[in-house]
Amino acid sequence: MRNQLVSSSKTQAGSIEIANITKGFQRRGGAFHQVLGEISCTVADGEFVTIIGPSGSGKSTLLKIIAGLETPDQGGVYLAGQPVTAPSRRLGVVFQQHVLLPWLTAKQNVLFALEANGTSARTAEERNELAEYWLEQVQLLDAQDLKPGQLSGGMQQRVGIARAFALESDVLLLDEPLGALDALTRHDLQQQLVYLSEHESRTFILVTHSVDEALLLSDRVLVLSAGPAAVIQQELHIPFARPRDRQTLEQSPEYLELRRHLLDALTRGTQEQKMGMQPIADGRK
């Protein structure tokens, strides 16, 4: 069922190349604010990469550029070798603020996105099955007929996640998708994201402020330096085997070491501006 529904149309690779991107904005009063310095990196098909960095360093700006929602001043983004110049259904996005249509039910919100996204190869019945499949994956099947106003924040977030997964994009771009949640719901949804990402052959790029979330989910973590002109100041490979179990991970000395290293990099990130790739361990790929 899942293979038929979810993977049959995925024929294109989800590799991303970010090549020499810079981005700045004109501020009120005319001053130019250089948000991103030169950023280059590649993300392999099926890899889970997390971007972490100080607030205002340009993480969301970078994600929007990858999504084709912002144009870089210089450089480019390539999806499977093709330049990204506009939003595309191959690049799914989940924002911190889940944007659900309030007059539609949870299921209708997912279906609406499927219809709007031109998944025309699917029949209405298949789209319905797909929506139900993903609502079930985020444990919302029972709430499928409720409208956003009748759902908790965490449930709304899960509808947003189900919707993004249902779109069958090659790449999922997640901008602090769990940021606005209470600790317990976040914990629960992190676990679901681990499960979903490990059972999907898509590429994931996540922005988060949580070091533990980054370590739990990622194959690789990129640490952005503080702006202006933020760069990737460090790259960490996260070597833990999959499937991952949070409790086992958190008890391992290597986890504590990576955690300390990442926190240290984030703290130092406010001072360091130069590019300094320092892989400290081998990834699983």
Ligand X SMILES: Nc1ncnc2c1ncn2[C@@H]1O[C@H](COP(=O)(O)OP(=O)(O)OP(=O)(O)O)[C@@H](O)[C@H]1O
Intra-chain end-to-end CA distance of the chain, in Å: 28
Nearest to 193 by CA among 33, 152, 15, 179: 179
Is the Cβ–Cβ distance between 258 and 266 less than 8 Å?
Answer: no
Please say which residue, 65 or 215, places its beta carbon nearer to ligand X.
Answer: 65
Kindly state the smallest distance separating residue 91's Cβ from Mg ion, in Å: 17
Give the integer Cα–Cα distance in Å for 279 and 84.
Answer: 28
Ranges within 51-70 binding Mg ion (CB under 5 A): 60
Q: Which one of residues 59, 90, 127, 261 is an interface residue with ligand X (CB under 6 A)? A: 59
CB-nearer residue toward Mg ion: 27 or 274: 27
58 binds, among Mg ion, ligand X, none (CB under 5 to 8 A by kind): ligand X
Tokens 């702006």 found at: 227
Judged by beta carbon distances under 5 to 8 A according to partner kind, the member of ligand X, Mg ion, none in contact with residue 234 is none
Binding mask 17-36 vs ligand X (x if CB under 6 A, - otherwise)?
--------x---------x-
Give me the DSSP letters along 218-239: -SEEEEEPPSSSB-EEEEEE--
- Using CB under 6 A, which of the segments 54-62, 118-126, 191-199, 256-264 binds ligand X? 54-62
The answer, yes or no, to whether the previous bond of 228 is cis (omega within 30 of 0) is yes
Reported residue count of the chain is: 285
CB of 59 to Mg ion, least distance (A): 5
Please tell me the distance from the alpha carbon of residue 139 to that of residue 162, in angstroms, as a whole number.
10
Nearer to ligand X, 61 or 233 (CB): 61
Contact status, residue 49 vs residue 205, Cβ threshold 8 Å: yes
Q: How many residues at the interface with Mg ion, by CB under 5 A? A: 1
In our burial notation (b when 16+ CB lie closer than 10 A, e otherwise), range 109-123 reads: bbbbbbeebebeebe
Enumerate the β-bridge partners of residue 49. 205, 220
For residue 279, the partner it binds in ligand X, Mg ion, none, with Cβ less than 5 to 8 A by kind, is none
Interacting span for ligand X (CB under 6 A) from 57-65, 113-121, 162-170, 244-252:
57-65
Query: Residues 84, 21: contact at Cβ < 8 Å?
Result: no
| Interaction of residue 61 with ligand X, rule CB under 6 A | yes
| Window 34 to 53, contacts with ligand X (CB under 6 A) | 35, 53
Residue 54 CB, nearest distance to Mg ion (Å)?
11
What is the contact surface with Mg ion in residues (CB under 5 A)?
60
What is the contact surface with ligand X in residues (CB under 6 A)?
25, 35, 53, 55-61
